Chain A
Amino acid sequence: MAESVPVSDREQRILGIIETTRAKRPRFKDPAITMAHGAGGKATQTLIEGLFVPAFASDALSELGDAGQVEVEGVELALTTDAFVVKPIRFPGGSIGELAVNGTVNDLAMAGARPVGLSVSLILEEGLSSDDLRAEVEAIARAARDAGVQIVAGDTKVVERGHADQMYISTTGIGHRDPRARLSPTALAPGDRLIVSGTIGDHGTAIMLARGELGLDADIESDTRSLWPAVDALLDAAGPHLHCLRDATRGGVASVLNELARASHVAMIVREAAFPVSPVVVGASELLGIEPIYVANEGKLVASVAAEAAEDALAALRSVPGCEQAAEFGEVRTDPPGMVLVETAFGGRRVMDQLVGDPLPRIC
């Protein structure tokens, strides 16, 4: 009995205008920076695509990948950088130091690059206790060892009390691109299956609860970890059938899917019920009125894999520690380009849009 009902011409035209506006490169016109510009949603996208990309005008940058690609005398490298301002600096399951290593390692891994070296810049607030600093330096060293990457350079700045909040860390990473696949945000193809490497929303929920502002208490840990072992397993299992990887950090899985759908001019149809979500995250999201697909992760990737390799890719992923709950949740289609549609668990359908701003600043 489902059948399309004709939509009036005017409604059709207005819907068309919205689609065109969405597909256009956004222009940055805001008079000042607000917290929304750092939230990973639409405002961040406007800042990147409307100010940074046109100003720097580099081909590697305009691809909007997690890491930029450079070639040095025939050697294919990936380069990326990331800054960390998470509050509180220590939270269940991790800390700012661990995050700073894993975040950059993961951006390299998403470009299909084996992490080789990292630089670490520290911005310290006057008065920061040496014990806190020592703990974070040790966390950085430990995370780097676990990820098999060397710290090869660094810098330290100290600012007056009140001009930073304890400590900020910026890391830059260089990696060697793996020849087994050519990954790119523009490489998604209709028919591809979409896979997520485990439960979603753990990191954002852990940070929210760790701040203690909500009066909620629950047992949830950040998922921060290096994703290179997962990427390595996927490259082994799917090789060139692996088309794209992205780690679902700020803005969550929903933001990543929207970015990729736009970059590749494809549509996606995803099944809400197929996303693995831990009961604590479901409960907290329910109470706070947010959806886990919009909550940040620090150790989860989304993969777009050709249909014929999807089953092997999923099996390989599930054998990696930390990815046991990996699941296929949707597929890539042709129409309507740039849009992500959700089949709700209740049997309806809707658009999964990007967030305009995140109600929760400084999660990474």
Chain B
Amino acid sequence: MKYVDEYRDAELGQALAAEILATVDPDHHYKIMEVCGGHTHSIYKYGIDDLLPSNVELVHGPGCPVCVIPMGRVDDGIAVARQPGVIFTCFGDMLRVPGSRETFLDAKASGADIRMVYSPLDALRIAKANPDREVVFFAIGFETTAPSTALTLKRAKAEGVSNFSCICNHVTIVPPLRALLESPDLRLDGFVGPGHVSTVVGARPLEFIPAQYGRPVVVSGFEPLDILQSIHMILRQLAEGRCEVENQYARVVPYEGNLKALEVMAEVFALRPHFEWRGLGFISQSALRLSNAYADFDAELRYEVPGVRVADPKACQCGEVLKGVIKPWECKVFGTACTPEHAIGTCMVSPEGACAAYYNYGRFAREKAVV
């Protein structure tokens, strides 16, 4: 397929792998974090790990929007979904994320009207088609998906769709990255930077990483050649003693971001003082709520939600996996009590989650090029 196959060319991949091999210092063990769940997924799907030298280790970061939703928020969503007359909508990935007692899929099986949508606009369409029902959209995602939620709410307001509301779980990428970098047990050499998020916010907000923490960042696309090239760029910065933000994904990411999208987000959302992240705990100013101008569409105000903080299961080490402190298989319950069929932690639920990716694809990715 045109515009896609070009970025999956196996010969170019081999050539890049050879360049990477020539760039690394054989005596150094490199740890590079890919921030986005989308990168993690591509790495496993295409077997990119196989093409890297054995002393280049990829650590899976916190950028999977499903993985970071805490159980309490799922419980809140289910409580709203069970209200009489409510049609509850969310993305397919969310359906199997465990709350403290059940998943959305379980709630659906026991009678809640829960529907999967591909876009918030689909949820608005359902609201317009069912004027006698209340339609609630469970919004998740980083700055990547926040603009589409914002535009949907703007349209709902303009068209006066009063039976539509939104539980806003949108989060922002910089605060958790900062929290990671502050963490004393973290040892990383560089970052494969978020691609889709940067199409919205630009590459500039990542400048603090080299400036304050001395780690190179390369904003990367999601095709296998993109990721290999970004890893090469990080390794080259390290080899040449440089430390800066580079933009591998310039075909999509403008350095200053998408000003229109940022404008819409500023109108519809406001920063929450703090938000709980699965495994990472509370991080201040890390998430968005609906702004006062859009309070009428805020399902958290429209419905009574339990709003109870539910502690992560004790055995679950999602937090350490998200921080890259441990590998998925090092978690106490990985592959035994926690599997994709019966997930304890969210990292196992989403196919982009580090644990699910490792469980599905990682077991036989053991043959590696040795320096």
B-binding residues in A (CB < 8 A): 1-5, 7, 10-11, 14-15, 17-19, 21, 31-36, 42-43, 46, 213-214, 279, 282-283, 286, 288, 336, 339, 341, 344-351, 353, 356-357, 359
On whether the beta carbons of B366 and A18 are closer than 8 Å, the reply is: no
Does B100 interact with chain A (Cβ within 8 Å)? no
Could you jot down 30 A-B contacts, CB within 8 Å? A4-B366, A5-B370, A14-B336, A15-B335, A18-B363, A21-B339, A32-B106, A35-B105, A35-B109, A42-B341, A213-B122, A214-B118, A286-B4, A344-B45, A344-B46, A345-B10, A345-B46, A346-B10, A346-B13, A347-B13, A347-B50, A348-B48, A348-B365, A349-B47, A349-B50, A350-B44, A350-B45, A350-B47, A350-B361, A350-B364
Q: Are B109 and A33 in contact (CB under 8 A)?
A: yes
Inter-subunit contact A32/B110 (CB<8 Å): yes
Binary A-proximity of B23-59 (CB < 8 A = 1, otherwise 0): 0000000000000000000001111111100100000
Partner among A7, A214, A286 whose Cβ is within 8 Å of the Cβ of B366: A7
Question: Does B155 touch A at the CB level, under 8 Å?
Answer: no
Interface residues on B, range: 35 or more
Chain B interface SS verdict (over half): helix
Given A18-B359, A286-B1, A346-B46: A34 and B108 interface contact (C-beta under 8 Å): yes
Q: Does B177 contact A (CB under 8 A)?
A: no
Q: Which residues of A contact B329 (CB under 8 A)?
A: 10-11, 14-15
Taking a contact as CB atoms under 8 Å apart, the answer to whether B363 and A282 are in contact is no
Contacting pair B105 A346 (CB below 8 A): no
Name A267's closest neighbour in chain B (CB-CB).
B364
Q: For the complex, what is the distance from the CA of A33 to the CA of B364, rounded to whole Å?
A: 33
B132 CB-CB contact with A under 8 Å:
no
Given contacts A2-B368, A46-B341, A283-B1, 13 further A-B contacts (CB under 8 A): A1-B369, A5-B54, A7-B366, A10-B329, A11-B327, A17-B335, A21-B336, A42-B340, A42-B341, A341-B364, A346-B47, A348-B365, A349-B47
Q: Does B367 lie at the interface of the complex (its beta carbon under 8 Å from any beta carbon of A)?
A: yes
B62 interface hit (Cβ, 8 Å): no
Determine the chain B residues whose CB is within 8 A of the CB of A17 once the complex forms.
Answer: 335-336
Which of B8, B10, B360, B364 is A349 in contact with, Cβ under 8 Å? B364
A213 / chain B contacts, CB cutoff of 8 Å: 118, 122
User: Does B191 sit within 8 A of A, measured CB to CB?
Assistant: no
Q: How far is the CA of A46 from the CA of B363 in the complex (A)?
A: 22
Chain A contacts for B368, CB-based, 8 A: 2-5
What sequence of 0s and 1s flags, for each residue 205-248 of chain B, a beta carbon within 8 Å of any chain A beta carbon?
00000000000000000001000000000000000000000000
Contact partners of B4 in chain A: CB under 8 A: 286
B313 lies within 8 A of chain A by Cβ: no
Chain B contacts with A in 307-342, Cβ cutoff 8 A: 327, 329-330, 334-336, 339-341
B105 touches A34 (CB 8 A): yes
B residues near A2, Cβ cutoff 8 Å? 367-369
Chain A residues, CB < 8 A from B45: 344, 350
Residues of A within 8 A of B369 (CB): 1-3
Residues of A within 8 A of B188 (CB): none
Interface centre among B13, B92, B334, B341 (most CB of A within 10 A): B341
Query: Which residues of B have CB within 8 Å of A345?
Result: 8, 10, 46
